[in-house]
Structure 1
Amino acid sequence: MKLFRMAAVLAVLAGPAYAQAPHINLLQDGPGKTDDEKAAEAERERAYKDTLKKIPDAKTSSDPWGGMRSDPPKQAAPKASAATTTKKPKAGTAAAN
């Protein structure tokens, strides 16, 4: 029974190490491409690059929540008049010379 447990532990510990082993392809590479296939592939690649050049650059907003807002932001409340916001010196300070 101890031998079975040791074999099970060894198998569990060896699994991740086995997964890291290099995989070797024992099959030979397929036949190479003919000149016609190479020319057709080059033409497809050229047409693909030409098509990519025709796509205009999109100017997108950098605000990810821009589509969630239904109204423009509210304006801040008007500020109070200048007379009420000026600070008066306290009576105990030496404001007058």
Structure 2
Amino acid sequence: MKLARVAAALALLGAPVTAFLARPVHAQMPNINLIPETQSKTPEEREAEQERDKAYKESLKKIPDAKTSSDPWGTVRNDTPKSTAAAPSTKTTAKKARTGSSAN
């Protein structure tokens, strides 16, 4: 009798455990669709898309090409000499004239 009770108790307690272990584990099996459903376009939609692409390409052709300089320091450096370069040379000659006249 004791053996029957132990067997019955194990059967009752073991059934939920085996059912729990036998069910699929959802955390390890994500629901990922590897083949996405793509909708096909109607002929009217395809024609409209081709017209948009054509208009876009034509508008790109209307944009003028920018003529850029290859000199990266072009905005920093001045190519034209300024008149200040000539002014110090006249001052130095004037100083020399004064120094020379006071020494004599």
TM-score (norm 1): 0.44
Q: Which has the larger radius of gyration?
A: 2
**Higher relative CO (CA 8 A, sep ≥ 6), structure 1 or 2?**
1
TM-score (norm 2): 0.41
